[in-house]
Amino acid sequence: MKTVEESLMEDLKDPEFRKEWERTALARAVALEVIKYRAEHGISQTELGRRLGMHQPAVSRLEEGDQTPSIDMLKRLSEKLGIDLTINIHAGELAVERPEKASA
């Protein structure tokens, strides 16, 4: 049985799959951060939507990672949730990270 990583590596050999994978890279990275935030805080999509001033279906779409969020949405996530987001772009690859806060 193949691992997830092995399957992904095989799928990435397909140019159409790779193009879509690369197109959704930022959206997937943001989705993971949003899901991680909800898990860390033990809140539902509905509660997260309340904190962000949006409805639960919009949170669900954000967590699906299919559509790249706007800069305004990234700003809203940062401001309303009190988190820092860093977007790194390296040779066409995108990553979103929450930098570790320095201990006081």
pLDDT digits (tens, 9 = 90+) for 78-89: 999 988 888 877
What pLDDT is attached to residue 83? 85
Here the tokens at position 3 are: 């691992």
How many CA atoms are closer than 13 Å to the CA of 76, on its beta-carbon side? 15
> Minimal CA–CA distance to 21: which of 32, 13, 33, 12?
12
Question: Is residue 104, in this structure, part of any structural domain at all?
Answer: no
- Model confidence over 23-79: pLDDT tens digits? 888 899 899 999 999 999 999 999 999 999 999 999 999 999 988 899 999 999 999
Give Cβ neighbours of residue 72 (< 8 Å, ≥ 6 apart). Answer: none
Question: Is residue 103, in this structure, part of any structural domain at all?
Answer: no
State whether residue 94 is helix, strand or coil.
Answer: strand
CATH number of the domain within which 67 lies? 1.10.260.40
Q: How far apart are CA 96 and CA 40, in angstroms?
A: 17
Question: Is residue 102, in this structure, part of any structural domain at all?
Answer: no
Residue-range definition of the domain harbouring residue 61:
4-97
How many domains in the chain?
Answer: 1
The pLDDT-based confidence of 93 (bands split at 50, 70, 90) is low
Question: Is residue 72, in this structure, part of any structural domain at all?
Answer: yes
